[in-house]
Amino acid sequence: MTARVRRLCALGLSVVVWGGALAEPGVTDERILFGQSAAFSGPAQELGTDMRLGIEAAFGEANARGGVHGRRLELSSLDDAYEPEGAIANTRRLIEEGVFALIGAVGTPTSVVAVPIAAEAGVPYVAPFTGAAFLRDPSWGNVINLRASYGQETEAMVARLIADRGIGRIAVMYQDDSFGRAGYAGVIEALETRGMEPVATGVYPRNTTAVKTGLLDLRAGDPEAVIVVGAYEPVAALIAWARHTGFDPVFVTISFVGSNALARELGEYGPGVYVTQVVPFPTGPRPPVVQSYARALKAVAPDTAPGFVSLEGYLAGRLALVALEGCGREVDRACFLGVLRDAARVDLDGFELRYSETDNGGSSAVYLTMIGSDGRYRAVASLAERIRWRRPEGRAVRTDVGR
């Protein structure tokens, strides 16, 4: 057994050997093929679309320079509609079609079912758009995360609500699935650490905007703040209905929501809503990688506005490039994973990631943003920076948000 094959086996990756030579799926003399299963339809479709766009921007930037060690990078994307059944079918199909690695998956419920399939086939699972704790388990030798975890986001939310606003009555609204429960668990842990518990809890079903029952449950607890764990359409529906009915606590929601889409869906209901982010502000001057992203995005989609999700996709693509560059021309899955695990620190032009043999987490950075009175996001240093939402004078406000 060669050293190369032994390294694959040590990482728990399957090996196919033909005539003494290792055959690596997805790699030819001209290209390296990545696969993506994500939501391109349904209430979370903009998340998949923007992740794909960011990855394609990073790959396009590399291809314009001649690729990686002479190979072009390609991405094959399939729609799972943010449903586990679709993710299972897509993951199997992409593996059967011979992708080198999976990248930019969207969601916890889809990753829960896709990761074991990828692991069994020895396929790297790179930069999923989810902060679920189970993906941080180092026993998944094929998983490489990019973003901060939901636990880190919710800890920041609770800490800032208490320190910046003196808020003690906190409620939670979450999507009733593995994603929502992961975020909810993070909130509960952050509260329990401080000897607190939520004053109310609401839930809603995935891929719906059926939030009114949950809204009634929240109102019963008379919270000063509500932490919302969900995708943009139901989150927008919740906040719009709450404000329309005169219920207006501080609303803070998690990065997975899809920030650009949320602001657009909320419209006049948006000012003063806070969103935690796990990547830098996409139109800011720093770190330098943001400027690279802006140029790459303009090259592939000149009419598309920069956003947090497509920036995360771009960073995912750049992370894959680091691993491929490190492997040289003789790239294989074991080397791809090993380059990142052995690097300890990966610097993507100022956005730092950290890895080890026992830590596949990547970044721990959490940033605060708020929707301004003009409907646009702005970076804020604390939750003490606020805008009080007011019903527009002289006209009725929309009640069809999220429908």
Please determine whether the domains at 3-147+283-362 and 150-277+372-379 fall in the same fold group of CATH: yes
pLDDT score recorded for residue 18: 32
Whether the model clears a pTM of 0.85, i.e. scores above it, the answer is yes
Give Cα separations from 164 to 25, 224, 261, 283, 383 (angstroms). Answer: 51, 13, 27, 26, 6
Q: Who wins on pLDDT, 19 or 212?
A: 212
Closest CA to 173 of 207, 203, 143: 203
Question: What is the Cα–Cα distance from 271 to 388, expressed in whole angstroms?
Answer: 7
pLDDT band of residue 393 (cuts 50, 70, 90) is low
Q: What percent of the chain has pLDDT over 90?
A: 80
Q: What is the mean pLDDT of residues 131-158?
A: 94
The answer to whether residue 285 scores a pLDDT higher than 90 is no
pLDDT score recorded for residue 8: 45
Decide if domain 150-277+372-379 falls under CATH 3.40.50.2300.
yes
pLDDT band of residue 371 (cuts 50, 70, 90) is very high
Backbone angles phi, psi at 180, to 5 degrees: -60, -40
Question: What is the Cα–Cα distance from 126 to 147, expressed in whole angstroms?
Answer: 11
Q: Name the residue ranges covered by the structural domains of the chain.
A: 3-147+283-362, 150-277+372-379
Whether the upstream peptide bond of residue 287 has omega within 30° of 0, thus cis, is yes
Q: What percent of the chain has pLDDT over 70?
A: 91
What is the per-residue pLDDT across 164-173, written as a single tens digit (0 to 9) for each? Answer: 999 999 999 9
pLDDT band of residue 23 (cuts 50, 70, 90) is low
Using an 8 Å Cβ cutoff, are 78 and 37 in contact?
yes
Using an 8 Å Cβ cutoff, are 215 and 242 in contact?
yes
- DSSP tally for the chain: helices H, then strands E: 12, 17
What is the per-residue pLDDT across 99-131, written as a single tens digit (0 to 9) for each? Answer: 999 999 999 999 999 999 999 999 999 999 999
Using an 8 Å Cβ cutoff, are 308 and 339 in contact?
no
CATH match for 3-147+283-362 among 3.40.50.2300, 3.40.50.1820, 2.70.170.10, 3.40.50.620: 3.40.50.2300
pLDDT band of residue 346 (cuts 50, 70, 90) is very high
The answer to whether residue 247 scores a pLDDT higher than 60 is yes
Question: What is the Cα–Cα distance from 185 to 5, expressed in whole angstroms?
Answer: 40
